[in-house]
């Protein structure tokens, strides 16, 4: 079984990540753990300009992760029914896909 801390995410294509949750609710564990993992120095080191913010609320809103990519795309993950690993993997694959796009773009420019 995959350990969340072993999932490496490259944040280069990410502009910002907001992790929103109401800590007094009981469906926020995976979202809070996601916040913990994303703050890990290995992942943070992949993009020091990526802003990771915790939005702590008390208004019954559902837990979610709001990812803004540098190319304007947005990824919203609703943490109530997702595991930490699922959210990390989803972000990882998105980031890898964008990295690949960038690589191909730069290859076209300079053959």
For 57-100, give the DSSP string.
--SSPPPEEEEEETTS-EEEEEGGGS-HHHHHHHHHHHHHHHHH
Q: Interface with another protein includes 76 (CB under 8 A)?
A: no
DSSP 26: S
Q: Interface with another protein includes 98 (CB under 8 A)?
A: no
Site string for another protein, 12-41 (x = CB under 8 A): -----------xxxx-xx--xx-xx--xxx
| Interface residues toward another protein, by CB under 8 A | 23-26, 28-29, 32-33, 35-36, 39-41, 52-54, 56-58
């Amino acid at each position: 079984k995959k350990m969340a801390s072993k999932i490496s995410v490259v944040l280069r294509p990410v502009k910002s990540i907001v992790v929103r949750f109401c800590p007094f609710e009981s469906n926020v564990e995976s979202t809070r753990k996601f916040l913990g993992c994303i703050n890990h120095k290995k992942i943070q080191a992949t993009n020091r300009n990526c802003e990771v913010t915790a939005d702590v609320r008390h208004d019954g809103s559902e837990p979610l992760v709001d990812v803004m990519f540098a190319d304007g795309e947005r990824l919203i993950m609703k943490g109530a029914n997702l595991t930490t690993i699922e959210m990390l993997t989803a972000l990882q694959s998105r980031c890898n896909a964008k990295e690949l796009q960038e690589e191909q773009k730069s290859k076209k420019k300079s053959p």
